[in-house]
Amino acid sequence: SEAADLLGLMHYMESMRLVTVLQLVPPTSDENVTVTDTEFNNVPVRLFLPKRAPGGLRRAMVYFHGGGWCLGDAGMKPYDHVSRRISNELNAVVVSVNYRLAPEHRFPIPFEDVFSVTKFFLQSEVLSQYGVDPARVCVAGDSAGGNLAAAVAQQLLEDPEVKTKLKAQILLYPALQALDLNLPSYQDNDNKPLLPGSLMVRFWSEYFTSDPALREAMASNRHVPAESGHLFQFVNWSRWLPAEMRRAHVYGGPSFGGARLAREYPGFLAPRASPLLASDALLRRLPPAYVLTCEHDVLRDDGVMYARRLRAAGVPVTHHHAKDAFHAAMMFILWPTELAVGHRLFNAYVDWLNENL
C-alpha cells in the first residue's frame, strides 16, 4: 500500500481496501436468520432478523464495523458471521451499518451516518415494526467501530428528540482518543500484528485530512496546541492506567505543537471523534458498558482508561482484559484464520450480552 501510494498509483487506503473486497459475502439467509441489505435513513445497513418465534419482544443491537474509519464493510465474512450468530443465539435483531468511509468521507461523516441510523432505529414505530423491546437495545462496535459506538452513546444523551434509552454500549478494543498517541500501549506494541502504531496514526490522520502535516505531527505526538492542554486530564495515563500497565514507563506530560492544525482540523479535539474527552458529567449518564481490551494492542490503554473513567463516574462496567490477545482477536473464529483465543473472547462477549441485554 505504501509503495502504490508513493508511486501515485493508488491511494494508500484504496489498496488496503482490496483486503475488504476479498472478504465480502452476499446477504444470504439461512434456516435461522433472514439477512438483507437495505437502508435506514438513506444509510446502507445489513439487517439480520431471527426466524424463530420471539416469545415476546426481541432485543436488538446496532453494530459498527472496524477498519480505522477507512476500511471494512458489514458484508465482510467475519462481520457477517458474528452478526448472524448474535442474531440467532440471542434471538436479536442486528443492524450492521455500512457508514461512509474516509478518506472520501472524513469526520464527521462516518459518525453522522452511524448516529443517523441509530436515531432512526430507536424511533418507537421502527422498533415496533421489528418487534424490538425499546428497553433492550444496545450499540456495539470494534476498533474504529468501538469509537463510533462510544460517540453515539454520548451524543444520544444530548439529543432531545431521542426518547429511547440504550440498555448498553459494547466497545471491543476501541480507539477512543487522538490526543496522546504515545501511550504505554503504543510504545509496548508499536510493531505488533495487525495494527502497528504507524498504521493507527495513519488511520487517525486520514479520518480528518489528507494534509501530511497532521500525520507527521501525530507521529511525533506534537499535534495538540498548548491552549488545549486542559484536555490531557482526561487521558493522563499516570492517573487512569493501573500500575501493571504503566510498568516502567514514566509520565512526562504532553508535548505541545502549534495552533494551526487544531484550528484547521478541530475534529481530533472533539468528543465525537475522541469520546475519552467527554466530561465526567456526561459520562455518568451513560448506559452500562462492556469493554474488551487486548494486552498486545496499541489501543489497549484507550479502552482501559475509558473503563476506569466510566467506573469512576458511577457507570456499571464489565472490563474484560485479554492478556494473551492482540488487536481484532475476536474476529479470528473462522477457517482459515481460526484461533482458540478468538472463540474464547467471542463466547465471553455473547454470554455477557445474554445476561445483560
Residue 143 catalytic? yes
**Ramachandran region, residue 33 (left: φ > 0; alpha: ψ -120 to 50; beta: rest):** beta
Catalytic residue among 113, 297, 301, 302: 297
Catalytic residue, candidates 65, 223, 296, 327: 327
- CA angle centred on 305, ends 147 and 215, rounded to 5°: 55
Catalytic, 116? Answer no
Give the residue among 179, 170, 208, 40 at the shortest CA–CA distance from 115. 40
CA–CA dist 222, 138 (Å, integer):
36
- Residue tagged active-site, from 83, 87, 96, 143: 143
Residue pair 195/297 in contact (Cβ under 8 Å)? The answer is yes
C-alpha cell at 113: 451516518
Residues 6+ apart with CB under 8 A from 111: 148, 151, 152, 155, 272, 273
Parallel, antiparallel, or unpaired for β 93-97 and 168-172?
A: unpaired
Q: Which three cell numbers stand for residue 200?
A: 493507527
CB 67 within 8 A of CB 21: no
327 in active site: yes
Rg (CA), the chain: 19
Contact by Cβ (8 Å): 277, 179? yes
- Catalytic positions: 143, 297, 327
